[in-house]
């Protein structure tokens, strides 16, 4: 498959998701600076999501400048990645409205982790689809910098969960809701 149509489709998906993210931002309760600053969690969450989406878009733009053809494996990986990216507005709103929620923070982190892992898999799939392309081989996609964001997100998720379980703080209903969701167990 030619990459022009696919790249246009991917760009449109990213643009729509950024639009949904910005539409989820609420207006301040009053036209004052303190009212605006009260929305800091929502703006920080939006900034994190926007930055991640921009980096993904920019890297894909540079990648598809040298790639001419992709196969079905690349399409499937990108479809799953776009699904995970499309969940960002939902989890961003959830974590912005519930800043201290363990479930919201964990699911936001898991979504980011899925996006990052699928991003690395998509790079490898593009490389495997066209291994003799000189432009791809010049860009060494097997560098460690691809894995640093994944390691940071994993450390954050495990640090949060470890600190909860090591201090026996996991008696809060929010934590049992998360465990029930992740492991399909009943609440105690």
Write out the residue range of the structural domain in which residue 107 sits: 3-183
- Asked whether residue 188 is assigned to any structural domain, the reply reads no
* Counted domains in the chain: 1
pLDDT digits (tens, 9 = 90+) for 32-48: 888 888 877 888 888 88
- Asked whether residue 121 is assigned to any structural domain, the reply reads yes
Contacts for 34 with CB less than 8 Å, ≥ 6 apart: none
| pLDDT at residue 171, as a whole number | 46
Instruction: Determine what percent of the chain is predicted with pLDDT higher than 70.
Output: 78
Average pLDDT over all residues of the chain: 79
pLDDT digits (tens, 9 = 90+) for 133-149: 777 765 555 566 666 77
Contacts for 64 with CB less than 8 Å, ≥ 6 apart: 3, 6, 7
- Asked whether residue 24 is assigned to any structural domain, the reply reads yes
- Asked whether residue 48 is assigned to any structural domain, the reply reads yes
pLDDT digits (tens, 9 = 90+) for 80-126: 999 999 999 999 999 888 887 878 888 888 898 899 889 888 888 88
């Amino acid at each position: 498959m030619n990459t022009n149509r696919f790249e246009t489709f991917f760009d449109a998906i990213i643009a729509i998701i950024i639009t949904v993210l910005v539409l989820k931002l609420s207006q301040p309760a009053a036209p004052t600076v303190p009212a605006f600053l009260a929305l800091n969690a929502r703006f920080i969450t939006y900034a994190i999501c926007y930055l991640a989406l921009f980096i993904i878009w920019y890297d894909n733009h540079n990648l598809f400048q040298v790639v001419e053809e992709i196969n079905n494996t690349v399409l499937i990986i990108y479809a799953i990645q776009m699904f995970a990216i499309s969940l960002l507005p939902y989890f961003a709103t959830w974590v912005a409205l519930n800043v201290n929620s363990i479930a919201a923070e964990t699911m936001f982190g898991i979504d980011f982790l899925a996006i990052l892992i699928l991003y690395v898999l998509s790079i490898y799939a593009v490389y495997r689809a066209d291994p003799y392309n000189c432009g791809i081989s010049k860009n060494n996609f097997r560098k460690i910098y691809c894995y640093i964001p994944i390691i940071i997100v994993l450390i954050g998720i495990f640090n949060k969960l470890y600190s909860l379980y090591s201090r026996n703080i996991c008696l809060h209903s929010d934590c049992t809701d998360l465990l029930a969701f992740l492991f399909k167990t009943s609440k105690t």
